[in-house]
Homo-oligomer: A and B are copies of this chain.
């Protein structure tokens, strides 16, 4: 890989001035970058070019791709609601391979271990590179410097922003629909392989030149509700199975059993309770990880004791959140992604369980979004540092193994809490400087570990509010030193070269950090 010109951004990180041939704006600080220009629009179609009957079915993915004018170098958008159970994108790229197409850019909202077979197609040149969160094997492949072009990690809101602003142009969007009609209206909240919301694919449907819906559950017109509108769809393809249901969504979401993590969850719920924002009508967002789930369960006990209800909770929805909705403890669930079958059922049956898109929830280039209206957000991280900066993309050995999801966007909440174990695999997670900067410390308020709670000194209000709550509140340096004593010192620095293999975008499209090739 040829050397890139690097500049130092406002966070002190060195970032390339060009990424995959596109000039970049280095991160300028939270809220500092002022966008210009107008939102991008797709080509203007006309009804005369579409069947009057509304029946847009074609017999195969391959035929749909040909009708969409697939050619070398195109960008193919897709969404990740099928997670590690996706069967569709392997079929799509196999069809591209059969057609002799080369040099494609795959632009998923996230890639998963199930997409490992695509490495072969990258080696073969069918796919030039993947632009999107790379979880697992594809991330490791890129980390080793094997991908042709840089990885570009974006948040869910950042992906919407990039497409909306015309930074990324999707030539063909592939939408995997749990239920669809022949016109292309589709929904994720029902069907044998239901995934809940399909909204990560919404921007693709609205802006791509061509849109293909693939479904294994075709219903008569009209498919209700229509999370995606057929008026944006070119072709509909029936496939045997869009995904492996066991891996798309779990019937049950698993609570942590780890005593340390349960303690962290208990601290987190108690911390929230000690703040002044915890009141009748508060709002919250928590993920579906084991610790976050346990936090919600502890918090529910506090809410019952205090007679408080939440005005809304943002999901990742789970059966625990659905239970709280159904027992009247939550006014509504604003759901970005559905994590279990109870969440799917609730979205299908309850007017107050509302699917939300990244536009609504997260897009920084909107007239506001929901993220800043959330009182408490409970998130994870792979590393934090003494400046409260955090990393979610790489491990301490430098390997890029995770996507960003909505994490960066959620940092805009009123109180951002990272409940995390103080070390993983004997490696301390609190350090002097995170390996990769994904979230600036000024947005991260509290780090909660089993060894104590560190409050960002910028949040004197929270320090004041919680000081008599009987919680183990300590300076972050103190927790760091305790962990290092236990682990035998700070973590070893990552073994990386100075070759950049990827960048992390901030929510406004600027480049906040670089990711380096691991030395083998």
Q: Which A positions have Cβ atoms within 8 angstroms of B? A: 31, 33-48, 50-54, 56, 164-165, 183-184, 211, 220-222, 224-225, 229-234, 281, 311-312, 332, 334, 351-352, 354, 359-360, 363-370, 372-373, 412, 508
Contact = CB atoms under 8 A, between A and B. Distances in A.
A412 B47 CA distance: 10
Q: Which of A41, A50, A232, A370 has the most CB of B within 10 A?
A: A41
Given A222-B332, A360-B231, A45 B366 contact: yes
Chain multiplicity (copies): 2
A368 to B, nearest CB: 4
A46 B364 contact: yes
14 contacts: A31-B47, A33-B46, A34-B46, A38-B42, A44-B165, A45-B367, A47-B372, A48-B364, A52-B373, A54-B368, A56-B367, A222-B354, A225-B351, A231-B359
Contacts of A364: 46-48
Contacts of A54: 368, 370, 372-373
A42 B47 CA distance: 24
Contacts of A281: 220
B34 A367 contact: no
Contacts of A365: 44-47
Contacts of A183: 368, 373
B40 A369 contact: no
B46 A220 contact: no
Contacts of A184: 367
| 7 tightest A-B CB contacts, nearest first | A39-B41, A31-B48, A50-B368, A52-B372, A231-B366, A35-B44, A54-B373
A126 to B, nearest CB: 27
B312 A222 contact: yes
Central interface residue in A47, A165, A311, by most chain B CB within 10 Å: A47
Contacts of A34: 46
Nearest to A30: B48
B164 A44 contact: yes
Contacts of A230: 367-368
A397 to B, nearest CB: 35
Given A39-B44, A44-B36, A164-B44, A221 B373 contact: yes
A41 B41 contact: yes
Contacts of A363: 231
Contacts of A36: 44
Contacts of A225: 351, 354
A494 B400 CA distance: 76
A37 B31 contact: no
A279 to B, nearest CB: 14
Contact of A373 (B53, B332, B351, B359): B53
A423 to B, nearest CB: 34
B220 A311 contact: yes
B47 A234 contact: no
A352 B223 CA distance: 10
A249 B44 CA distance: 35
B367 A234 contact: yes
Given A53-B373, A311-B220, A366 B47 contact: yes
A493 B37 CA distance: 52
Contacts of A45: 35, 365-367
Contact of A50 (B41, B222, B352, B367): B367
Contacts of A352: 224
A508 B46 contact: yes
Contacts of A224: 332, 351-352, 354
A44 to B, nearest CB: 4
Contacts of A53: 372-373
Interface centre among A39, A311, A332 (most CB of B within 10 A): A39
A406 to B, nearest CB: 14
Nearest to A185: B360
Nearest to A207: B39
A57 B211 CA distance: 38
Nearest to A50: B368
A351 B38 CA distance: 35
A86 to B, nearest CB: 25
A395 B360 CA distance: 46
